[in-house]
Amino acid sequence: MLTYNQIIIKKYIIYEGSPYEVLSSRVFRKQQRKPVNQTKLKNLKTGKIIEVSFHQSEKVEEANIETKKIKYLYRKLAPNRAEGKGKFYFCEENDPKKRFNLPEEIIGNEIKFIKENSLIDALLFSNEIIGLKIPIKVELKVIDAPPNIKGNTSSGGNKPVILETGAIVNTPFFINQGEKIIINTETGEYVGRVEK
């Protein structure tokens, strides 16, 4: 069991019967009262974010979240935008015959930075996949970049480039087609160039 002040960022807890990830945590005192931990929790099954205040006398159970490697195979696009982004297909790490798909709520936006046939960690709660643990930084090749216009490089502006996964990111003007760059998957931002 976790006490109110042990409910901190990156912990997994069970709240009202569901697994949650703690996104933010702030312990403070309200005037003359006892301390309170103001948290933001993300439901790992639905993706819904809620705010909860835990008081000094409250305790919660730590969620037993396991990880297992799965292989990201491909994305099948939806016929129209109303049906969402489509379906994402995966398979067991060592058994390509055991294929399955996961809904968008579980996958999150970070999947657009993952190459097909890459191994990633699946988060399991009661033997059910409830989320994916995507690396924070990934290296990807630029497959399309607009040409530089002379004089633009010193102004420090940005240009959109297309990565090998199909994702579009803003990079500095000096990034060219064929280069490998580092992307922060949480923010979707350019971090740097991969040195050769």
- Per-residue pLDDT at 29 exceeds 90: no
| Band of residue 57 on the pLDDT scale cut at 50, 70, 90 | confident
- Per-residue pLDDT at 136 exceeds 80: yes
pLDDT, residue 33, reads: 76
The DSSP 8-state label assigned to residue 57 in this structure reads T
Q: What is the mean pLDDT of residues 25-47?
A: 84
pLDDT, residue 111, reads: 85
Phi–psi pair at 192, nearest 5 degrees: 180, 180
Q: Which CATH class is domain 66-133?
A: mainly beta
- Residues 3-20 have pLDDT tens digits of 888 888 989 999 998 899
CATH topology agreement for domains 66-133 and 137-193: yes
- Per-residue pLDDT at 137 exceeds 70: yes
| Total-model pTM | 0.71
Which tokens hold the place of 26? 């702030």
- What's the 3-state SS for 97-151? EEEEEECHHHHCHHHHHCCCCEEEEEEEECCEEEEEECCCEEEEEEEECCCCCCC
Q: How would CATH label the architecture of 2-62?
A: Roll (2.30)
Domain locations along the chain: 2-62, 66-133, 137-193
- Residues 174-188 have pLDDT tens digits of 888 999 999 998 888
| Band of residue 56 on the pLDDT scale cut at 50, 70, 90 | confident
**Cα-to-chain-centroid distance, residue 17:** 23
- Return the CATH number of the domain spanning residue range 137-193: 2.40.50.140
Which tokens hold the place of 153? 């490089």
| Band of residue 46 on the pLDDT scale cut at 50, 70, 90 | confident
